[in-house]
Amino acid sequence: MNVHTHPDSPSEPRDATRLFRIEDIRRGALVGIAALALLLPPHHRTPLQGPAVASAASGQPPRLPDLGSAAASDDTRLLAHWVVETGDNAGMAFVVIDKKAAQLYLFDAAARLSASTPVLLGSAQGDDTVPGIGLRPIEDVRPEERTTPAGRFLGIRGRNHTGEDVVWVDHEAAVSMHRVRTTQPRERRLERLASNSVADKRISYGCINVPAAFFDAHIAPTFATRRAVIYVLPEQKSLPQVFGAHPRLMAADHPPASASHAGLPGVPRPL
């Protein structure tokens, strides 16, 4: 993580902005779409708990996320379903980062999985950042403070203090998504990325380290012309604690006995 004072700043405000869209269908005719923007810090957001994207009035079944054959965790699948049901991504592409698995999943605006990759994350367990940490010199960040925060963030392309292009996740806390760096050979970051051990992937100061080829092929184009939503799953808190008490997310805390997991087709049992 680039934990430094920030002479640079994003070209747009860094506070997350959520666009709520309400469709009112009366007598079979669409009479209007209203948009409301909320400006709140991303880790304090109360997520939308409105109707599913596909309204029952349309007579069409609700749209589902498409994860293909990806071996994603139950939490990742639940979060993706919640995004689609609530329209929380507001028509934008979105990224889901599963800290427990050290995996990143990139979805297009239609909630189709575009690509996935292992990532390196903060070396310390935890879902919150220390207030003011983004203004402190990196040498002053204690080991227990090197966390990757959980939450909903509106990612934006920008540059860090060295001029490197990154995607800011939480600019105030100096948390970004960037290409993995190999400037410290003793850290063996490329070797850690290739490891099957999740523990090996906990090495950063909190930033999300992405393989350089993946960043160039997928992350950079996604954020090139517009923002995209970044969801970082918690590792200590529950999904409802971080994203809100939506029934879909509550299934993560109270899974049913059947393998269907709250009616999600094809969701495997926890491994």
What CATH number has the domain spanning 19-250?
2.40.440.10
Closest CA to 116 of 94, 92, 146, 138: 94
CB 116 within 8 A of CB 105: yes
Say what percent of the chain tops pLDDT 70: 69
DSSP bridge partners of 171: none
- Which pLDDT score, from 0 to 100, does residue 136 have? 75
Q: Name the token pair of 74.
A: 């139950």
> Rg of the chain's alpha carbons, rounded to an integer?
19
| Percent above pLDDT 90 for the chain | 53
Active-site position among 81, 178, 246, 261:
178
Per-residue pLDDT averaged across 91-101, rounded? 97
pLDDT of residue 33: 32
pLDDT in the model for residue 64: 83
Residue 205 has pLDDT above 50, yes or no: yes
According to the model, what pLDDT value does residue 245 have? 82
Among 3-12, 168-177, 260-269, which stretch is predicted with the lowest mean pLDDT? Answer: 260-269
Instruction: Based on the residue annotation, tell me whether 4 is a catalytic residue of this protein.
Output: no
Query: pLDDT, tens digit, for every residue of 226-255?
Result: 999 999 999 999 999 999 888 888 766 654
Is 246 catalytic? The answer is no
Q: What is the structure's pLDDT at 70?
A: 85
Q: What is the mean pLDDT of the chain?
A: 76
The pLDDT, as a whole number, for residue 146 is 92
pLDDT tens profile 112-167: 999 999 999 999 999 998 887 776 777 888 889 899 999 999 999 999 888 899 99
Answer yes or no: is pLDDT of 85 > 80: yes
- Torsion over CA: 257, 261, 262, 265 (sign): negative
Ranking 45-54, 65-74, 153-162 by mean pLDDT, the lowest is: 45-54
The closest of 123, 144, 143, 141 to 132, measured between CA atoms, is: 141
**Ranges of each domain in the chain:** 19-250
Task: Extract the tokens encoding 257.
Answer: 């006995």
Residues 6+ apart with CB under 8 A from 10: 156, 157, 158, 168, 171
Give the pLDDT confidence of 155-174 residue by residue, as tens digits: 999 998 888 999 999 988 88
User: pTM of the entire structure?
Assistant: 0.72
Q: Which of 207, 218, 246, 261 is catalytic?
A: 207
pLDDT at 22 over 50: no
Give the residue from 196, 206, 231 showing the smallest Cα distance to 106: 231
pLDDT given at position 16: 35
Report how far apart, in Å, the C-alpha atoms of 69 and of each of 26, 63, 72, 77, 176 are: 39, 18, 9, 12, 28
Q: What is the per-residue pLDDT for 61?
A: 57
